Structure 1
């Protein structure tokens, strides 16, 4: 009977419905500390030394106008901080933004209301990465892929493409979930449940690092911590926002309604076991999902310094 239940329920990949994906992503953004932590990291000495100082050193013999590419930029939550940091060092920056969803409009509106810096010009491309590549042959000094790696497909393919877009001495920044925390640890993603036609097979940092090593591309690595407030879907069965957050974390459309009972129970038990109760500033209780804690930030520098 249980096997029949699993066969009758189809766990649909969240990425097959981008409208639903962006609603789920918005729910996640409202509940995670990811962006605050990444902002702090971007403003830290580590970002300064790994990205800003190295770019400055690598490009010292070149015109100091740099080209920056954001892939899957969303509404630019983190890229704005990256650009602000770069703008303190480089006199001119040309920033290309590639984002296929309507989130790009929010990014443009934010920049329109409050310009990032006087020395930055923007190009906006509402299209997928592959669509962008089909009609553009520019090379870039800095490429940032903050939350889009899982939607780019085969790591062997997209790493080669992004590496070839770098100028000599240019830097590629990737943020990815690890395979032992976050979506990589949710029981739904155990091997016996993976099915490319039904479930969302997230690309994790181990897969990308394996690709880089196979291609003999050197990289450096940093790790940051985040937590996510999952109170809505753990304590409120009627929370639409909570269900969207659950969809994002599992990578499945309407997970709560469509998952077989055994899978749903196992996933919810996982959240219960790895979360902890915390007090909010208002004295209320919330459940913090600590297992979203490890995110790898990978840096790739292309070849020799520019001559």
Structure 2
């Protein structure tokens, strides 16, 4: 019988190697419906009424006034540019500050250069982490809309970063936070036994964020969307490099399949077996899917600071 490799192998946090992280992120982007779902939500009546219309009320019809927008962890800007496009339909002048520490900020700039909707938007680029941005620029500049889409995992203690974000809002300003729930997807992949030694990625989830909001007595609204992963590659093909990269992204670890202790790998793969969905494709092949639910949290700052 092969001995367990529990004592020999150790998993490392995916965020400790950003080059590998970007490889896993590319694999994730090719295997998820996130972009379609987020596009639908931004086009929905919910975004129109809860973001665009509410900001319009703040300006009381004076659409010539410049609206200030802050994106944190904006990545390549695909989602954020779509939000900005919706805002340009209502507001004539927009100043957008982009805080993104990785090389993806270059792709964002390329996207802006090819998008006519960006003509009425003035961009400021900050290739920094959120904390570096605050250290350099302080919290004096306030924003009417702050977008944090699946970036809270990089921001540390929710009690701390929620308070920082809230203080950056103008009265009447809106904070959008999108974060995975604690009961689906990466929020419930059973890696908990490894987290005591801080070698794996202890993802922040929506439960922690809403708990922070409630602790700070900040009112929020909550809705959800569901994205689907195509996990066929790592469930059926042990030699699939893209499958291994996707598994690394979903577990928040580096080289999970090769490095995980036997019991941890078995536990995680059993988890996928329990919740996966199998369907036939048009060409008769099997497609194995996995669903993840994310919470959409919207905060509007009142007239008085907390």
Task: State the TM-score, normalizing by the size of structure 1.
Answer: 0.94
Q: Is the 8 A contact 1:278 1:285 kept in 2?
A: yes
Which runs of 5 or more structure 2 residues have no equivalent in the other structure?
none
Q: 1:198-240 CA distances to partner (integer Å, 9 max, x unpaired)?
A: 1111100000111111101111111111110001111111111
2:2 and 2:285 map into 1 onto residues whose CA distance is 39
Task: State the TM-score, normalizing by the size of structure 2.
Answer: 0.94
Report the CA distance between 1:176 and its aligned residue: 0.6
Query: What residue is the counterpart of 2:179 in the other structure?
Result: 176
Task: Output aligned runs, 1:1-307, within 5 Å.
Answer: 5-60=5-60, 64-136=65-137, 137-188=140-191, 190=192, 192-195=193-196, 197-290=198-291, 292=292, 294-304=293-303
Which runs of 5 or more structure 1 residues have no equivalent in the other structure?
none
Report the CA distance between 1:124 and its aligned residue: 1.3
Q: 1:149-191 CA distances to partner (integer Å, 9 max, x unpaired)?
A: 0111000111111111111110000001111001111111x3x
Report the CA distance between 1:2 and its aligned residue: 10
2:298 and 2:35 map into 1 onto residues whose CA distance is 19
Q: Is the 8 A contact 1:70 1:145 kept in 2?
A: yes
Report the CA distance between 1:259 and its aligned residue: 0.2
Aligned residues: 302
CA-based RMSD of the aligned residues comes to 1.9
Q: Is the 8 A contact 2:4 2:261 kept in 1?
A: no
Aligned-partner SS, 1:118: helix
Q: Is the 8 A contact 2:150 2:180 kept in 1?
A: no
Report the CA distance between 1:295 and its aligned residue: 0.5
Report the CA distance between 1:140 and its aligned residue: 0.6
